[in-house]
Amino acid sequence: MRHLVWFRTDLRVADNPALYEAAADDAEVEAVYVDCPGQWQEHGKSAMQRDFLSRNLQALNEQLAGLGIPLTVLTADTFSETPDLLVRWLEGRHFDALYANREIGIDERRRDKELQRRLSIPCRVYNGDCVLDHGSLTTRSGDMYKVFTPFSKTWLAKLRAGGYRLLPVPAAQAEALSSEPLSLSGERVSSDDWPAGEADAAQRLSQFCQRSLREYGERRDYPAQDGTSSLSPYLALGVLSPNQCLSAMESELGQLPFSRGEPGFVWLNELIWREFYRHLLVAFPRLSMDRAFRPETEALQWSRDDEGFRAWCEGHTGYPIVDAAMRCLNQTGWMHNRLRMIVASFLTKDLHIDWRRGERYFMSRLIDGELAANNGGWQWAAGTGADAAPYFRVFNPTTQGERFDAEGDFLRCWLPELAEVPARVIHSPHDWLDNHSPGHGYAKPIVDHGRARLHAIAMFDALKDRETV
């Protein structure tokens, strides 16, 4: 038996269902990866993540070579061209089946459906990106949950009852092969600050569990502290699986935390949020199509303030926590989760700019950009999504900064204009700067938060008025 494994967003050999099943019963296995640079651009993904993808693909190539599994990299410009490319490439090559792990975006699902229609061999697809398979958690009426809390309770109950399955690395099928260096084309920005390969991902996961898992709930909101896992870039490309996260957590704690208050539960809850957004993307394809989860919010009257949007992108809003967060994103390709909520709230509730513009900008910069989490987070902040923040919840950027960066340590890392400002005024530094540092160059606030908050609430109140007419 000869089986072909199609790697996609699952760049690992451990806990990889498609690879594991393909290698069962001593089948001979080959692997293929299809690069789609045009689709990458169409989806607006970042040059840094593309570099990280290239480096992790090379690491996968070396691991597969060690197992005696050859990897072929093909190129199709877009997903729509991929079925034809694969069908032509398979001509004259004898394989008994194609194995792959499911991808959940609408473009990916259309691509896979077309390929399965045209293939002359079976295509076997597995769940490789969630602990619990998409569609396996539903309400009593059979619908997907639209609110996180009941989804989370059902998810925990199913995990407690059935556990999870962690798959080993398949045995080597032959002597190790020599692997040729490979590199993806297209615009790339260095991702060297993030070690590539699943060995480094596993090491980072282990270190996080040993050092920070128990204190995660107390430390995760403070951007100046190293309190988060920083595993999202690896999860986004499938270099690391959520099952591996559960296994590391269980190994460190002795058991999984199923109740609030137990050590490690806050981090487990973050993994459940990840799964919630991925299940939603499958159940509601419109989320892949630039549409709001709550259809009535499509009538919101967003501002076309291009100057304000540019100031937000560049970190020149005059609100220090927003500016520091955006400059950090632009330079490193990563942003702390608390800061993501703050800057998303500022764009949508203070500047009243469409969440889709922020979603696209994040995707163009993030090393961990992936549709489900990025879309879910932005719609949560904007009040348009499933289980969204109430429309009257508008983060005050000044008090958020005072609460989560009280001494201004994070601000000083990214805002050299504020290096000498005392901590007591660093979150509202303008008067101090005018008096002590003429010509400082730091922007004045581009909007009055109090007035902007009232306007945001009025925008949503207008929706209710439309519904009652």
The β-bridge relationship of strands 71-75 and 28-35 is parallel
Check: CB of residue 292 under 8 Å from CB of residue 298.
yes
- 267 annotated as belonging to a binding site for a ligand: yes
Active site residue 194: no
| C-alpha torsion 265→266→272→274, nearest 10 | -150
Active site residue 155: no
Pick the catalytic residue: 312, 378, 380, 414? 378
Pick the catalytic residue: 6, 40, 194, 355? 355
How would you class 195 by CB atoms within 10 Å of its CB: exposed for 0-12, middle for 13-18, buried for 19 or more?
A: middle
Taking the alpha carbons of 312, 318, 324, 328 in that order, is the dihedral positive or negative?
positive
Active site residue 334: no
- 271 annotated as belonging to a binding site for a ligand: yes
Pick the catalytic residue: 30, 250, 270, 402? 270
- 414 annotated as belonging to a binding site for a ligand: no
- 275 annotated as belonging to a binding site for a ligand: yes
- 229 annotated as belonging to a binding site for a ligand: yes
Active site residue 6: no
CA neighbours closer than 13 Å in the CB half-sphere of residue 456: 30
Instruction: Report d(CA 190, CA 52) in Å as an integer.
Output: 8
* Amino acid found at 454: L
- 274 annotated as belonging to a binding site for a ligand: yes
Pick the catalytic residue: 337, 417, 420, 432? 337
Q: Return left, alpha or beta for 44; rule: phi > 0 is left, psi -120 to 50 is alpha, else beta.
A: left
Active site residue 312: no
- 342 annotated as belonging to a binding site for a ligand: no
- 334 annotated as belonging to a binding site for a ligand: no
- 437 annotated as belonging to a binding site for a ligand: no
Q: Between vectors from CA 284 to CA 356 and to CA 140, what angle results, nearest 5°? A: 140
Q: Please, which residues bridge with residue 30 across strands?
A: 4
Pick the catalytic residue: 6, 273, 380, 414? 273
Pick the catalytic residue: 114, 302, 402, 432? 302
Helix axes 265-283, 148-162, angle to 10 degrees: 110
- 270 annotated as belonging to a binding site for a ligand: yes
- Per-residue burial over 104-136, b = 16 or more CB atoms within 10 Å of its CB, e = otherwise: bbebbbebbebbeeebeeebebbbbbbbbebee
- 428 annotated as belonging to a binding site for a ligand: no
Q: Which two tokens stand for residue 368?
A: 């961990």
- 348 annotated as belonging to a binding site for a ligand: no
Q: Which two tokens stand for residue 404?
A: 């989560």
Instruction: Report d(CA 431, CA 37) in Å as an integer.
Output: 49
Binding residues for FAD: 216, 228-232, 267, 270-277
- Indicate which residues carry an active-site annotation: 270, 273, 302, 337, 355, 378
Residues annotated in a binding site? 216, 228-232, 267, 270-277
